[in-house]
Structure 1
Amino acid sequence: MKNKNLIVLFILVGSFFSCEDLTEVNINPNGVQPELVNPNLIMPTILTETAKLYLNYGYQDIAGVVQHTQKDAWSSGHNDYDWSSQSWSSNYDILRNNALFYDRAVALDLEFHQGVALVMKAFNFGLITDLWSDAPYTNALKGEVGGTENILPAFDSQEVIYTGILADLETANTLLSKSKSEYSSIVSDVDVFYNGDPAKWRKMANSLALRYYMRISEKKPDVAKAGIEKIVGNAAQYPIILSNSDDATMSFPGTSSGTSWPANTVYDASGSNYRRIKMASTLVETLQNLEDPRIAVWANKVQVPLVVDETLPAGTDEIVDGKRLLSPDKVGNAVLDLDQEYVGLPPSFSALPSAYNLNPTPGQTSFNPHVSFLNDIYKQASGSLLKARLISAAEVNFILAEASLKGWATGDAKTMYEAGVKASMNTWGVGSSSDTYLANEGVAYNGSLEQIMEQKWIASWTAATESWFDFRRTGLPALQAGPAAKRQALPLRFYYMQDELNINSANANAALDKLEVTNFSQADGKNSAWSKPWLNQGTGKPW
């Protein structure tokens, strides 16, 4: 997503076709033939679209589910889980491009590109099964690849998909095990994650394997234990992300709406998308209780704090010295947050969240001065902290700390817990406060899974998908649905989209039959956000 990438791509296109005699081949004059395309032309699209899609999940509705954020307008999907038919078309579009990327890499014997393709295949199929449950996998993508028509593919089970993902990551580890000089055709600029560095891609592959082994740990503990111990016990053969410099991230150039941080005010002149997103009170109060310096990086202080003063004359409602002074009769039965620094929006507390804290301008165009806005950095189109974050050193260390608590041979849980906290603090520019923070009550290591998962939840800010998946697996943090939520429990999955149910009905219905209906599924039936997929069945989690 750098401007110079376009120049590189044009050069690549030119060099690729310069050796072809157009009188001898039948080439579409309006495009590049799939069977001839250079893999370096496809790679940027796969990486950028994956990163943007993943960020959109973790900064939008899933951030609402795990109570990182809430919205004060256009809020029902974000705050209340008012979902219905959720499309995976964008996910499979990426995978179709990735299949072509892989096939061309195989045809040209480009092992680096093959390894990258397998990592991205694992990441994207992992996201699909994590979000929807069973999904087309083994026979997916064949309607467009290899000339095989299969537009109604069967759905594979989550168990099969995770097994395939882990196998692909194992293969990728081998393919990416050479030094950069031993590969051919690497164009560093088209790799917006790692600048063509196979060692970093190898670490990403093995770190994702840790993620998915932990994902299946409740269902297949022996497999998860063996897989994680194999990786941790063979550091030379299975390097992993333990430093922030190896995090899988993508920055934004900010040159257009499509290449900018989402919900910025540079390309959204009204600023409404930025203005609607507020930090959830669940996260705000946790950060305040722990004296967490990251709160100042993520949120602004409330513009106009509220003060309720019993000594004021009845009917008092006025701004004095930047504070709104209220007599008790003006408050009535309203529930207020009188914090003078940071105020979050409670999760799904009302059908009209913009009215919270006596906002004088409730409604879709509200501007609530009594609830903290996100930090001004989130108004920008780009910035050093504005990155899509796919997997990080913080996450990896928390995975290893959790594995250690399970009694697996992954090292000292306290050391890895503290390394996870420090990695997140460094990510957000407050690393100098790490030692002080780790000594705070509630942060100082106490050997509990609750503490590890709380810090992992905090560290997943803007990458909240992992926190949702962790919550489903562990029930932690112990988040509760708000009173206006569609159900009085957090959801577990996305709905299969209606087109899939209509067009690929036999296979989709077979997948639905394997979901476990719960008390919260209610009128939705099996295709409910509250029906349990294989990962949750029989675990008693998260509820």
Structure 2
Amino acid sequence: MSFTIFRKRQWKVFAMLLLSVGCSDFGDTNDNPNASRVPVPFALLTEAITGVPSTEAGRSLRGGIAGIQTVGAPEPMLYVQYWSESQYPEDSQYSTTFALWDNYYAVSLQDLQSIIDFNTNEETKLQMSQFASNNNQLAVARILKAYLFWVVTDRWGDVPYTDALKKNTQPAYTPQQQIYSDLFKELREAGDQFDNGSMLGGDILFHEDAAKWKKFTNSLRMLMALRISNVDPGTAKTEFLSALNDDDGHIIDNSDNAFVAFLDDDKLRNPLHVLFDGRDDYGASDVLVNTLKDLNDPRVTVFVDPTESDEYIGLPYGLQRDMLIDWTNENEYSRPGSAIRETTSRGYILTASQILFAKAEAALLNWTTDDAADLYYAAIQASWNQQGVFDQDAFEEYTTQDAVEFTGTEEEKLSKIGTQRWIALYPNGTEAWFEWRRTGYPNLQPTPYAVNASKQIPRRYAYPNVEATLNKLNYQEASGRITGGDTHDSHVWWDVQ
């Protein structure tokens, strides 16, 4: 059986296997004494990575590290001006205030917590070891759980963490600084927890390669450290150097990139494909297209589709609906590139270019003695290689442009790192939004037709609207800690721009 066929069958079977995990509490009436009393962990792992296949036609994978709420989330892509809306511009005008977190807590995080619980419970850990080493199952689950909580806290700020996933219907919100501290601990311990035993199946991220999991772990630690560099530079530097110097290494080559290889299957396809399946709601933003064209950047051929007249034309960002209709009636515009939204297009979670840009920034901050320029150019080259557009002569011409060459003041160099990072992260709008909030680069301007109170690009999501009634006291306490209150204009702890 080919690997592709095996992987497709593996994806399709994991959701059905999940049905065996839970049952109603009718005592031992329906207990089969010969049946397993533990879940099938590889099904839980696959679902935590991908999210849940929708039961409705034309819907995306939800939750997960590669679902529509995380890497493929369209709203952050609008906030960082990768895309423009072509028909209904409300999100481009920042009308969305709150976002739900159900698919994180109730599905992906709960799946990972189940793996952790069953591998630590003395009554079930032996039975769980039939699937893989207990330590290796725990390590992988803790790493992905930390990654998902990192995304969740950077979306909302203070969130249920310490009290979460404990069958507590009214969990307290943990301050974000405390969450970061614990995530660093979790990743350090998880990276050291791997043993020489077997790895867990269902791993569609690194295919049971422990060495790649360890590199991924250290890479996450480095990015997390840089995220808090403006608000806690001492901890940031310590954690960054600890991860950088770890003997297990980190991602510096595209062969170690973390990505999901989606399938040519209606329920298991790239979530971005769903957004364009029978719909035409998004165009490539003029901000992105003009940036790529001004730099003569060959990635434009991957990131953007040409128009019928074989031109790359961006759709103006943030127009009001009547203005938008008038403009689109009179003009051609490019759609986001087919290469990044095909059914089988890869969903990148973390790449070599991200880590190389992080190392370049750390060198510029004098955290290391590395050459920031070398790392910066290596990061751009890694991105070009990732997208299949690298040519040595074109690269040399590109990197000697005034807007790209690593010259100028420290602030100008940070700006160049930020702009090139923004380009390389495409189409991971979620991570680009987080990094833009941290650095202020590139210098994105809000739409002049913004409808939110600040008239600025949103800085977070407001808490799910049901929290004010279902978890009222804890919601009120957490909201009271936010300067400006629970709005999408308020800033999270590390966002001091």
Q: What is the TM-score normalised by the length of structure 2?
A: 0.85
Cα deviation, residue 222, structure 1: 0.4
Which letter does structure 2 place at the counterpart of 1:489? Q
Q: Aligned in 2, Cα 1:175/1:344: closer, same or farther, shift over 3 Å?
A: same
Q: Which amino acid aligns with 2:472?
A: S
Please list, as runs of the form range in 1=range in 2, the aligned pairs for 1:213-228 lying within 5 A after superposition.
Answer: 213-228=225-240
How far does the alpha carbon of each residue in 1:364-398 deviate from its partner, in whole angstroms, 9 at most, with x for none? xxxxx61112333356322xxx1111111111111
Aligned equivalent of 2:212: 200
Amino acid in structure 2 at the alignment position of 1:434: F
Q: What is the number of equivalent residue pairs in this alignment?
A: 451
The answer to whether residue 492 in structure 2 is matched with residue 530 in structure 1 is no
Q: C-alpha separation between the residues in 1 aligned to 2:494 and 2:276?
A: 40
**C-alpha spacing 1:484/1:71, structure 2 compared with 1 (3 Å):** same
Map residues 278-317 of structure 1 onto 2, 5 A cutoff.
278-304=283-309
Letter aligned with residue 4 of structure 1: F
Shift of 1:162: 0.7
Alignment of 1:129-144 (within 5 A): 129-143=153-167
Correspondence list, 1:181-200, <5 A: 182-184=196-198, 186-187=200-201, 190-200=202-212
**One-letter identity of the residue aligned with 1:480:** Q
Match of 2:355 in 1: 396
* Counterpart secondary structure, 1:250: strand
Tell me if the contact between 1:85 and 1:497 (Cα under 8 Å) persists in the aligned partners. yes
From 62, 69, 75, the counterpart of 2:76: 62
Distance 1:185 1:120, change over 3 A: closer
Contact map agreement 1:83 1:495 (CA 8 A) in 2: no
Q: Which whole-Å CA distance do the structure 1 matches of 2:460 and 2:374 have between them? A: 33
DSSP-derived class of the 1:389 partner: strand
CA spacing shift, 1:356–1:158, aligned 2, 3 Å: farther
Matched, 1:277 2:282: yes
Q: How many Å apart are 1:221 and its aligned residue?
A: 0.4
| Equivalent residue number for residue 375 of structure 1 | 337
CA contact 2:115–2:141 (8 Å) conserved in 1: yes
Q: Is the 1:72–1:352 Cα contact (8 Å) retained in structure 2?
A: no
Gaps of 5+ in 2: 21-27, 52-63
Cα deviations by residue, 1:30-51 (Å, 9 ceiling, x for unpaired)? xx87x51232232111111123
Looking at structure 1, the residues matched to 30 and 375 of structure 2 have their Cα atoms a distance apart, in angstroms, of 55
CA distance in 1, matches of 2:341, 2:148: 28
Structure 1 444/498 Cα, relative in aligned 2: closer, same or farther at 3 Å? same
Segments of structure 1 that go 5 or more residues without pairing to the other structure are 18-24, 144-149, 305-339, 361-368, 518-525
| Letter of the 2:407 counterpart | N
Partner amino acid, structure 1, of 2:174:
D
Q: Which residue of 2 aligns with 1:260?
A: 269
Aligned residues of 2:302 and 2:338 also touching (Cα < 8 A): no
Residue of structure 2 equivalent to 1:420: 379
Aligned equivalents of 2:74 and 2:370: distance in 1? 35
1: CA distance, partners of 2:198 / 2:10: 16
Find the residue that maps to 2:138 and give its secondary structure.
Answer: helix
Alignment correspondent of 1:123: 147
Q: Tell me how far 1:54 sits from its aligned partner.
A: 5.9
Q: Percent same amino acid among aligned pairs?
A: 27
In 2: Cα distance, 1:91 partner to 1:512 partner: 20
How far is 1:352 from its partner?
3.4
Cα distance 1:496–1:379, how it changes in 2: closer, same or farther (>3 A)?
A: closer
Counterparts of 1:409 and 1:403, CA distance in 2: 6
Does residue 438 of structure 2 align to residue 473 of structure 1? yes
Q: Aligned partners of 1:356, 1:371: CA distance in 2, in Å?
A: 13
After TM superposition, give the deviation of residue 228 of structure 1 in Å: 1.1
C-alpha deviation, 1:355, in angstroms = 2.3
Secondary structure of 1:70's counterpart equals strand
Q: Residues 202-243 of structure 1, C-alpha deviation per residue, up to 9 Å, x if partnerless?
A: 1111100011111111111001111112222x25x2410000
Change over 3 Å in CA distance of 1:197–1:420 after alignment to 2? same
Match of 1:364 in 2: none
2:171 to 153, 157, 162: 153
Match of 1:209 in 2: 221
Contact kept? 2:283, 2:335, Cα under 8 Å? yes
Deviations 1:147-192 (A, max 9, x none): xxx210100000011111111110121023x5xxx212533xx211
CA distance in 2: counterparts of 1:80 and 1:6, whole angstroms: 39
What CA deviation, in whole Å up to 9, does each residue of 1:442-474 have, x standing for no partner? 112125100000000001101121221112112
* Matched ranges for 1:95-110 at <5 A: 95-106=109-120, 107=125, 108=129, 110=134
Q: Which residue of 2 aligns with 1:464?
A: 429
Corresponding residue for 2:42? 40
SS of the aligned residue for 2:283 comes to strand
Partner of 2:58: none
With over 3 angstroms needed to count, the CA separation of the structure-2 counterparts of 1:139 and 1:3, relative to structure 1, is farther
Instruction: Measure the CA separation in 2 of the matches of 1:444 and 1:267.
Output: 36
Q: 1:112 aligns with which of 107, 118, 136?
A: 136
Match of 2:478 in 1: 511
Deviation string for 1:403-451 (max 9, x for gaps)? 1111111511111111111111111111224333223331121251000
Superposition deviation, residue 94 in structure 1: 1.0
Matches of 1:286 and 1:243 in 2, distance apart? Answer: 26
Cα drift, residue 285 of structure 1: 1.1
SS at match of 1:494: coil
Larger radius of gyration: 1
Q: What SS does the aligned partner of 1:424 have?
A: helix
CA contact (8 A) 1:70 1:278 kept: yes
The amino acid across from 2:396 in the alignment is D
Instruction: Please give the secondary structure, in 1, of the residue aligned with 2:65.
Output: helix
Which string of whole-angstrom CA distances, capped at 9 and with x for unpartnered residues, describes residues 333-357 of structure 1?
Answer: xxxxxxx832112221223364253
Evaluate the alpha carbon distance shift between residue 44 and residue 2 of structure 1 in structure 2; reply closer, same or farther with a 3 A threshold. Answer: farther
For residues 323 and 136 of structure 2, what CA distance do their matches in structure 1 show? Answer: 49
* Structure 2 residue corresponding to 1:345, chosen from 315, 322, 329: 315
Is contact 1:140–1:153 with CA below 8 Å preserved after alignment? yes
Aligned to 1:309: none
SS for the counterpart of 2:321 is coil
Letter in 2 for 1:276: D
User: Alpha-carbon deviation of 1:265?
Assistant: 7.2
Contact 1:71/1:353, CA 8 A, preserved across alignment: no
Distance (Å, rounded) in 2 between the aligned partners of 1:535 and 1:301: 39
Native 8 Å contact 2:8 2:263 kept in 1? no
Tell me, yes or no, if the aligned pair for 2:356 and 2:376 is still in contact at 8 Å.
yes
2:87–2:325: 8 Å Cα contact kept in structure 1?
no
3-state secondary structure, aligned to 1:241: coil
Mapped to 1, the partners of 2:9 and 2:284 lie a distance apart of 40
